[in-house]
Structure 1
Amino acid sequence: MITRSQLLLTAATLSLALGGSAATNLFNFTRLAQGQETQEVTIRFQAKVGNRPFSCAENYPNLGAQNTTASATDFRFYISGVNLIDNNGVAVPLTLQQDNRWQHQNVALLDFEDKSAGCTNGTVETRDRIVGTVPKGTYKGIQFTLGIPFNLNHEDVTLANSPLNLSALWWNWRGGYKFVRIDLKTPGMIPTARPNHGNQGHQNSGSSPGFPIHLGSTGCQSEGNNQRPVNCTSPNTVNLSFTDFDPQRQVIVADLKPLIAETNITVNQPETPPGCMSSPNDPDCSSIMPNFGLTFGAKPNPEQKFFRLENANP
């Protein structure tokens, strides 16, 4: 007969063997060894532009510092490391359902474009939720990371498991993935010359009629674009926490409007990549990065403005 101690030892051994998400694996195997009951939890998200739901076919007025009318041709982002906060204030990992499409290990893709209208770089399928399990109990809050862990961020997109196999959300091995991709189409945008943006894999020379926002890691050190880096000086992942969250009655809203409220999306600074590509030296990112909750220049520890909670529709 196998004892509980033997099960726990086996859990630890398997966790070390699997690597990568060892802590999560150990937590899951320990839960199994203890025979702990679990409950399924669905975390719902919604993409908005102000108080209006995001749509590929819609034009949105009064955006940015110049109150510009624009449309969005992409709206996707990766979430990882989801924890629910129990009544004792303890962060409990949400074990994601491994569905071979939207969720892999502890990473999930939220996708609000449907390849209609101007969203030609996207997919027909959409995804507005994260599904997983936690030990049976009562929970009062949520923590998650906007972005992808370092060990998964610098993979070969052609060999990666879904949802990490989308080339439209990938720069290169060195830069990794685009944690957020929101592409704005702004009629009448002033074209400017832009150099190649080699670190992130862009080859932009000439003009562009849009203002893309691609959040990802920068300053990643490697000998070439097609090699994994040792580290990145600006990982640009964002840890978020909501202390009063009920997944049954609330939805997490990602709102484009406050993200770009102080940014002039009708122009691009000369000799810089298009829009904001997360570069610490790009003036076009000077308000967007702090609104994500990331330090930029002389703006340390900013308060994020991208996510908020709302009551879900009945």
Structure 2
Amino acid sequence: MLRLSLALLPVLLSGCGPAAPKSSTTLSVQLHFNGAPLHCSSPIDIAGQNWHLQQLQLYLSDFSLNNNALLLDPTLPHQQARLALLGSVCDNSATQSANWQVKFTRPLTPGELTFFVAVPQSLNHQDPLSAKAPLNQSDMYWSWQQGYKYLRLELAGAQQQWALHLGASGCQSASPLRPPATACAAQNRPHVRLNYQYGQNLTLDLAPLLADIALSADNHCMSDPNRLSCQTLLPRLGIEAPPLGWSMQ
């Protein structure tokens, strides 16, 4: 797994002799909270309050391995060549739209793996009704003007909900129904850099992101840099600071 703030765990080989390393075109992604796997039914203790996951989905894009572009398999419904949609949508009966794997067109080898939590700027302002999957999911979209939600995290607690939506901000156009002619003032594209070794998975731990925040309906964050809650959360996501919670294990 991949984790930014934790030391890389050694790979332990069993058997009588040395085992040959195995390469794979698939990278599994795991969601954690305080080091434990996090699922739709998992209780989450945040500042003494009990919460559970309603939705976590995020676009990962423009992968690179040792400074060489790493393209994704575009034949899968949750991927295009430059991006993949990861995550789960939870409801009372099942986990919908769950995908926690990224598949590449060539095998992974050890080295520096980098990617963005974002939709590439050239794809960010389009009509989701005509876009190819996975950019056709309407609840991951704001408007032609604002573009896509790169990350959508929603939690439910005792008679209240909390949300964090990450995307570009400061986008200017004549109408919300028109794409901007110039780049948005804040691209808000977290850049993750990790060291990959054979057999590791990519892990995202939400605990560092939400640490010491008493969540409520009044302190959600919709990527507005003027909002106090966003001023705490955006740097933790990786806006003008190293992103928290990511690791390889």
CA distance in 2, matches of 1:116, 1:138: 37
Count of residues in correspondence between the two structures: 226
Deviation by residue 1:153-211 (Cα, 9 ceiling, x = unmatched): 111010000000001111111111111111011215xxxxxxxxxxxxxxxxxxxx211
Q: CA separation of 1:118/1:290 partners in 2, compared to 1, >3 Å: closer, same or farther?
A: farther
Among candidates 226, 242, 251, match of residue 177 of structure 2: 226
CA contact (8 A) 2:88 2:96 kept: no
Report the counterpart of residue 216 of structure 1 in structure 2: 167
Q: Normalising to structure 1: TM-score of the pair?
A: 0.67
Report the Cα offset of residue 100 of structure 1. 4.7
CA distance in 2, matches of 1:245, 1:182: 26
Report the Cα offset of residue 67 of structure 1. 3.0
CA distance in 2, matches of 1:215, 1:130: 21
CA contact (8 A) 1:57 1:116 kept: no
Report the counterpart of residue 71 of structure 2 in structure 1: 95
Report the Cα offset of residue 147 of structure 1. 0.4
**Structure 1: which 5+ runs fail to align?**
1-38, 86-90, 189-208, 270-274, 296-301
Give the aligned residue type for 1:155. Answer: Q
Report the counterpart of residue 201 of structure 2 in structure 1: 251
Q: Report runs of 4+ in structure 1 exceeding 3 Å deviation.
A: 136-139
Q: Which structure has the highest helix share of the two?
A: 1
Q: Which structure has the highest strand share of the two?
A: 2
CA contact (8 A) 2:24 2:108 kept: no
1:268 matched to 2:218? The reply is yes
Report the counterpart of residue 294 of structure 1 in structure 2: 239
CA distance in 1, matches of 2:229, 2:153: 14
CA contact (8 A) 1:79 1:108 kept: yes
Q: Normalising to structure 2: TM-score of the pair?
A: 0.84
For the pair shown, the structure with the greater C-alpha radius of gyration is 1
CA contact (8 A) 1:79 1:146 kept: yes
Give the aligned residue type for 2:223. Answer: S
Report the Cα offset of residue 40 of structure 1. 5.7
**Structure 2: which 5+ runs fail to align?**
1-22
CA distance in 1, matches of 2:201, 2:88: 14
CA distance in 2, matches of 1:147, 1:212: 18
Percentage identity across aligned positions? 26
Give the aligned residue type for 1:117. Answer: N
CA distance in 2, matches of 1:175, 1:127: 25
Report the counterpart of residue 245 of structure 2 in structure 1: 306
